[in-house]
Amino acid sequence: MSAVLVLAEVPALPLNEAGKYVAAAYIVLVIIILIYVSIMAIRLSRIERELGELLELSGAPKPEPEPAALAAHQESTPA
Amino acid sequence: MYGKGLRSLSIVTVAAMALALSLVFFYAPLEAEQGFLQKIFYIHVPLAIIALCGFVVGALFAIAHLRTRDSSWDMRSYVTIHMSLIFAVGALITGSIWAKGSWGHWWVWNEPTLVSFLIVFLLYATYQPLRFAIEDPERQSRYASVFAITAGAFVPMNFIAVRLSTAYLHPRVLGGTSNLPGSMRLTFMVSLAAVTLLFVTMCKYELTAKHTRAQVRALRRRLVGEDGSPARRGRTAVPAVGTQAAGRSGL
């Protein structure tokens, strides 16, 4: 009860007004992490492409896909 | 290898972030003056602290580079400063959002803490262009290390100067944690630990990615016979790292 009285007296922003600022601040953090993950994904795909090119240059046979990946591919391919 | 232990570190980071967010929204009480708006501090203050500490750590790595001439230290310094800049952007944006909610302004120019942080940010914003401006990899790494050390020494000096100033308008969180209630202090410390883990994890990801790319380039040189001269490498701000030295140890 005393805590409610204290909160009623203090000049705090009401939840509906402060909530948008708090949400915005935490969304900024999420966006920064998402942008970083996207950049890492682009880099990873570039490295994968380069490795594929190098594999072709080396003349080595392409590695066999893993059985699980192969089964998933066959399931998704129409007969 | 840089990637060693990256999976476990990532899992620990995600768990720490989840714990920190749970504590912020379900455990920490509302602050009497700021109310719900104070919840921003649990992310804004750790971001600012880690960004500043990252700049200092970058300077320490630069000292190690100048002492040993090992380019892997230059790479660590580069990645740490790069990541600190990203965290500093986060601190500036979350700080501005808090200022708008609390003071009614996005930015206050007569507040020493805000302006000094912006000065440090702008100082480090010149690090990348400085590297890019120097084509020779050897000179680039040396000049960048000297810059990182000088700017790194400026960070604590700047921090102390602001603390000694008479205007205490900006809320003090670090140093004032003893005045915080136990639940708020615990939440703040967990948030700080979570953001630290996030910083270290992102640095390790960056180092691993750069090292892998260097290895792919080395492999291409071996297979195709391309030379690794600066002319071939092209102008870049990223340090040139030998694939042997780079992967010797982690962050």
DSSP 3-state of A49: helix
Amino acid identity of B164?
A: L
Provide the mean pLDDT of chain B: 86
Q: Do B209 and A43 touch (CB under 8 A)?
A: yes
pLDDT greater than 50 at residue B245 = no
pLDDT of residue B232: 55
The distance of A78 to chain B (nearest Cα, Å) reads 36
In a domain, B164, yes or no: yes
Query: Residue B221: which residues within 8 A CB-CB, separation 6 or more?
Result: B227, B228
- B contacts of A26 (beta carbons < 8 Å): 21, 43
- Owner of token pair 């492409």: A49
**DSSP character at residue B69:** -
Residue B158 lies in domain: 6-24+36-246
Confirm whether pTM is higher than 0.90. no
Task: Look at residue B218 in the predicted model and tell me its pLDDT.
Answer: 87
Two tokens, residue B64: 């190690």
CB-based contact (8 Å) between B98 and chain A? yes
Per-residue pLDDT at B249: 44
Provide DSSP, B233-245: H-S-SSPP--HHH
Across the interface, do A10 and B35 touch by the CB < 8 Å criterion? yes
Q: Do B219 and A32 touch (CB under 8 A)?
A: no
Q: Which residues in chain B have Cβ-Cβ distances shorter than 8 Å to A15?
A: 35-36
Output the average pLDDT for chain A.
74
DSSP label at residue B107: -
Which pLDDT belongs to residue B155?
92
pLDDT score for B244? 46
Q: Is B1 domain-assigned? A: no
Chain segment B144-177, per-residue pLDDT in tens: 999 999 999 999 988 888 877 755 556 665 555 5
Question: Domain limits of chain A?
Answer: 12-76
Question: Per DSSP, which regions of B104-183 are E strands?
Answer: none
- From chain B, the residues in CB contact with A7 under 8 A are 30, 32, 35
Least confident of A49-58, B67-76, B96-105, B240-249: B240-249
Q: Is the dihedral of CA B117, B122, B123, B124 positive or negative?
A: positive
pLDDT band of A15, cuts 50, 70, 90: low
Q: In angstroms, what is the C-alpha Rg of chain A? A: 27
Q: Are B248 and B2 in contact, with CB atoms under 8 Å apart?
A: no
| B175 or A56, higher pLDDT | A56
Mean pLDDT of B80-94: 95
How many domains does one find in chain B?
1
State mean pLDDT over A53-68.
Answer: 72
Answer whether B13's CB lies under 8 Å from B194's CB: yes
For B119-132, give one letter per residue: b (16+ CB within 10 A) or e.
ebbebbeebbeebe
Which residue in B has a C-alpha nearest to residue A24's C-alpha? B97
Longest dimension (CA), chain B: 68
Q: Which of A51-60, B51-60, B105-114, B203-212 has the lowest mean pLDDT?
A: A51-60
Taking CB atoms and an 8 Å limit, are B37 and A22 in contact across chains? yes
Measured between CB atoms, does B39 come within 8 Å of chain A?
yes
CB-based contact (8 Å) between A42 and chain B? no
